[in-house]
Amino acid sequence: MIREKKKVIILIIIICITMASIVLGLIFYSVKNANIEDKTLNNTDNNFQLDIKKYDITQFNSFIDDNRYIPVLNNNRYGFINEKGEEKINCEYESVSVFYKISLKNKDYQVALVKKDEEYGLITKDNQNMFFDEDLNKELNELYNQITTKLDENTMPIENFSSIMMFIMEACHYDYESESVSNSRNEQIKIELEQDENNNYWYNASNYSIKIEENDTNNEYNWDQYFPTTVTINKEGEEENNTEYIPFHNATSPYITLYDDEYIPFCNLDESIQGWYDKEGNRKGFQGKYEILNIRKDIITLKNYDNENDKNNIIFIDSNKNVLLQAKEVEILDNGYLIKKDNEKIIKINDNLEIISKEYDKIIYSVQLELSNELTSSGIYYSGIYEEE
């Protein structure tokens, strides 16, 4: 009888211990996943602690502007413009991150990390702001220094700031998304060609057809992207034959690349001619050391290698080869271009080559970020025109 009682007591003790463990586990899980306003960020490996309990972004108005805000730099101070080139936030900050959309308590907020007068803080797209106290500023400075030591020495401040912002959001388990997207536009569209019984390739445009035959001519230039072909243009019953190198087309690749409006680039190395077939099938070319960077809306962007001393080696021409604009450098965007002027300033122009922004020292059109499992920055890619510091 006594033994039976002991067994019951032991069983009760085991059950109590098990229940207590479950309760403690649930408490620990609840604390770990508590709302951010009741949370302190810790990182014992890096010996810092970010107390952000009193910095609740829900204090901001939930203002949403779906237009992308692009960081710009003027006189060592950062601000933001939109895609139309309009300055939306004045250049008054020492450093900024890109903007992030954060979902919290069933509302969306767009915030960026900034630094002004040696103080860190957050701003919104309608320029609401909150700045941090001395203790948090000290911790963020330590975090900034730790992140910069892990990055390439050429990494720009905006990338470091975006890394810190991502660190905070990851550690806080925010649901967020960045406005960072690729700035460059790939104007060339890859088209698969039809193949006939003679293994010739055909492309049927709206006003003409083009046949591409593999040429027996040896590829003396040995360029992977150029393969000698005989190009036959058939329009209105008339044929025209030329031996051309069609970029990225070869015997094992039944594709050609098109620019806008069905423009097909070509290169004739024997005649030192390069150019394009337009949407009517007309062959237009020119001699000289030029590279076709882009064709959009009948505007051709070229890089001139003929005169290395010419500062303005970027040339915009129309389909009749009239020069429309020259610049030192160009970055091709989804909607327009960034160009560098003679005075080293950067401006944005639209597809019609009209100036739509003020002059800036930098227009930073793409900052792509990734974070490692340790919530430190790894794999930051930058693209855009900027002056070296």
Tens of pLDDT, residue by residue, the chain (389 residues): 555 555 555 555 555 656 655 545 544 444 334 333 333 444 434 444 455 556 777 788 777 888 889 999 999 999 999 999 999 999 999 999 989 888 887 888 899 999 999 999 999 998 899 898 888 888 888 888 877 766 555 556 777 788 788 877 777 777 888 776 555 555 567 788 888 888 888 888 877 888 888 765 554 444 444 566 778 888 777 788 887 777 767 656 778 888 877 788 887 766 778 888 888 888 888 887 788 888 888 899 988 887 666 678 899 999 888 999 999 999 888 889 999 999 999 999 999 999 999 999 999 887 655 443 333 332 222 233 323 33
How many C-beta atoms surround the C-beta of residue 159 within 10 A? 23
In sequence order, what are the residues at sequence separation of 6 or more whose Cβ sits closer than 8 angstroms to the Cβ of residue 174?
Answer: 36, 102, 103, 104
Query: Which H helix or E strand runs over 266?
Result: strand 264-268
Q: Cα–Cα distance between 303 and 265 in angstroms, integer?
A: 15
CA 54 – CA 154 distance, rounded (Å): 35
User: In this structure, what is the dihedral angle of CA atoms 275, 278, 283, 289, given to the nearest 10 degrees?
Assistant: -10
Report how far residue 11's alpha carbon sits from residue 284's, in angstroms, rounded to the nearest whole number.
92
Query: What count of other Cβ atoms lies within 10 Å of the Cβ of residue 82?
Result: 16
Per-residue pLDDT at 317? 92
Other CB atoms within 10 A of residue 209 CB: 15
pLDDT on residue 187: 52
pLDDT tens per residue across span 97-124? 989 888 887 888 899 999 999 999 999 9
Tell me how many degrees the CA angle 132-136-140 measures, rounded to the nearest 5: 105
Distance separating alpha carbons of residues 208 and 204, to the nearest angstrom: 6
Tokens 């895609």 locate to 83
Distance (Å, rounded) from C-alpha 309 to C-alpha 158?
Answer: 33
Which residue has 């020292």 as its token pair? 361
CA distance 276 to 264: 5
